[in-house]
Amino acid sequence: GAGVSQTPSNKVTEKGKYVELRCDPISGHTALYWYRQSLGQGPEFLIYFQGTGAADDSGLPNDRFFAVRPEGSVSTLKIQRTERGDSAVYLCASSPLVAGTDEQFFGPGTRLTVL
């Protein structure tokens, strides 16, 4: 079956621009997660959705970052006024159940480069 997909696979933008990153989770998965991974580091949690609502957004670094999941399926991570430090691979994952008791299925990621 189809896994988690993310678009675009690569995004190059200029400092100060706005970007949107999209995640299509596995059909039927109620939980959706966003992580950010810098070179040589492990993924860093950003935000977690249970259905349409953000259950935990404690990992968002500042108010330039925002994510939505309006219909409980596709999610969009939005970054305003991008900075060079935002350059990283942004990973999306989904899982069928809640509370971290199940594995998470990861997409291939979007590599964001801010020039």
Partner 1 sequence: SQQGEEDPQALSIQEGENATMNCSYKTSINNLQWYRQNSGRGLVHLILIRSNEREKHSGRLRVTLDTSKKSSSLLITASRAADTASYFCATAPGSGNTGKLIFGQGTTLQVKP
CB of 48 to partner 1, least distance (A): 5
Q: How far apart are CA 107 and CA 61, in angstroms?
A: 21
Peptide bond into 8 cis (omega under 30): yes
CB of 4 to partner 1, least distance (A): 8
When the beta carbons of 14 and 62 are compared against partner 1, the nearer one is 62
Which parts of this chain interact with partner 1 (CB under 8 A)?
4, 31, 33, 35, 37, 39-45, 48, 50, 55-56, 59, 89, 91, 93, 95, 98-109
When the beta carbons of 8 and 16 are compared against partner 1, the nearer one is 8
When the beta carbons of 38 and 80 are compared against partner 1, the nearer one is 38
Residues in contact with 114: Cβ distance below 8 Å, sequence separation at least 6, in sequence order: 13, 14, 15, 17, 82, 83, 84, 85, 86, 87
Q: Which of 83, 81, 105 is closest to 93 using CA atoms?
A: 105
CB of 60 to partner 1, least distance (A): 12
CB of 31 to partner 1, least distance (A): 6
